Structure formats: C-alpha cells, structure tokens
Amino acid sequence: MALGLALHLTAEETARGAHLENLIVTDLLAWRETQTRRPNILYWRTSKGQEVDFVVETATNLLPIEVKSSSSVRTEDARHLKTFIREYPERASAGLLIYGGEDAYWLTDRVLAVPWSRIL
C-alpha cells in the first residue's frame, strides 16, 4: 500500500531504485514472519564503500541479495556479492541478484540473477 502511494506521488509507473528495494525488503520481512526461526534481514557495507542491499542471516547461512532495477545485468553488477561471498566463505555459498529482466540464470558460478517479478 505505501509503495503504491509513493509511486503515485512520484508519478512512477514501476518500482525502481529505492522503491524497488522497499518492495523487496517488505516481501523479505513478510516472509521472515512465516519462519519458525526468524532470520535476520541485514545490510552490509565495507569501509571502502562496497555494499550489499540485503543479507538474510540464519543460524548457519548468509544469503547476500543485491537489487537492480535494470532489465539486464552484467557480471560487474555482481562484484559486491562476490566480495561478500569471499569475506564469508564458511556461511555464504551463493548470492542473489534480483533485477528487472525476464530470465533467471547463473550470472557467475555463485551468483544467481532472478527477475523480481518471479519472486514477489
């Protein structure tokens, strides 16, 4: 509801940028509430400015998630996900890049690109 109002007030037709990230975090928080052991939904940023939009933390695993509104993504778009996975090799085996395209595919050997329309 709040996202719809924000899009209307800004005259946007589709969620992009902060609006898309808001849509994703709202869905993540709703999903978290259905879990018996509620995972943490975090944000990650290094002192050098590298960042990952969301990190889902369970007792044993970390899933870094990057959100891009563009309809296509490149390997370069996964660079911070790859950095995160290298930083936490024991707990982060892969990352998720959510984007505005149509196809789900492995962007790199450890980063899955998935259209946001398929997961929301």
Domains observed in the chain = 16-119 (3.40.1350.10)
* Reported pTM: 0.84
Strands (E), 40-104: 40-45, 51-57, 62-67, 95-99
Taking 60 as the threshold, does the pLDDT of residue 3 lie above it? no
Q: Which of 80-84, 86-90, 98-102, 115-119 has the lowest mean pLDDT?
A: 115-119
Higher pLDDT, 19 or 77: 77
Residue 22 CB contacts under 8 Å (≥ 6 apart), including other chains = 2, 3, 6, 15
Phi, psi values for residue 16, rounded to 5°? -140, 160
pLDDT value at residue 5: 43
Residue 59 CA to chain centroid, in angstroms?
Answer: 19
Taking 60 as the threshold, does the pLDDT of residue 6 lie above it? no
